[in-house]
Amino acid sequence: MPQYNDPRPLPAEPLALDLVNTRYTDPRGHHDLINTRAALNRWLHTSPALTHYPDIYRLSDEYAFTIIRDARDSLARLLARPGDPAALERFNRLLVHGRTRRELTPAGITHHLDIDDPAHLLGYLAADNYVSLITEKSHRLHACANACGLYFLDTSRNGTRRWCSHDRCGNRVRAARHYARSKIRT
């Protein structure tokens, strides 16, 4: 397998947020980490959440590229407008392409993933992950307060994190406040 540098701005986020976070803004401009099929391939190969799905690395044809970008747009729209009926309908279309089948075996419960079309694997996995997140931790899902376009799962002890990262947006906001205060004094 080829070696890639991880392009993610927030590499430790759950898959649903990781997919949405492939599009963001910073002082250098707008970024889209899956704007080409080669970029999608790079992103797929650096995703820690996808290592259990080796078939996913073959999803770089034009059809899969379009399906994956559409899945990202569906998730982003739902995150931006959680109660919007059109966003919910579009999101639910991601879930119809797969299911998790459970089976009781002598060794315990096993889970089997059934996908109707391999191109929909990533969209289904991300949608399923999002359903799990809102079921268990919906109060911890946040958009960055600095409007960079990134979403994060707040893992802070008290649940009051405001920025995607203290190093990225947190420092920028604090520096801007400091600069504004110093301009007022002079």
Question: What does the pLDDT look like over 82-104, one tens digit per residue?
Answer: 999 999 999 999 999 999 999 99
Q: Is residue 157 part of a domain?
A: no
Contact 13, 38 (CB under 8 A): no
- Mean pLDDT, the chain, rounded, equals 88
Model pLDDT, residue 178: 56
The DSSP secondary-structure symbol of 65 reads H
Q: Is residue 103 part of a domain?
A: yes
Angle at Cα 159 formed by Cα 155 and Cα 164, nearest 5°? 60
Model pLDDT, residue 33: 95
User: What is the pLDDT averaged over residues 129-151?
Assistant: 92
Q: Give the pLDDT confidence of 147-169 residue by residue, as tens digits.
A: 899 999 999 888 888 888 877 78
Q: Is residue 65 part of a domain?
A: yes
Q: Is residue 182 part of a domain?
A: no
Report residue 96 as tokens: 């119809």
pTM: 0.85
| Extended strands (E) in 120-176 | 141-143, 151-153
Contact 125, 94 (CB under 8 A): no
Q: Is residue 166 part of a domain?
A: no
Q: Which residues span the domain enclosing 36?
A: 15-139
Residue 52 backbone zone (phi > 0: left; psi -120 to 50: alpha; other: beta): alpha
Number of domains in the chain: 1
Count the neighbouring beta carbons within 10 Å of the beta carbon of residue 98. Answer: 19
Q: Is residue 128 part of a domain?
A: yes
Q: Give the pLDDT confidence of 26-62 residue by residue, as tens digits.
A: 888 999 999 999 999 899 988 888 888 887 877 768 9
Residue 138 backbone zone (phi > 0: left; psi -120 to 50: alpha; other: beta): alpha
Q: Is residue 133 part of a domain?
A: yes
Cα–Cα dist 145/13, whole Å: 17
Model pLDDT, residue 181: 67
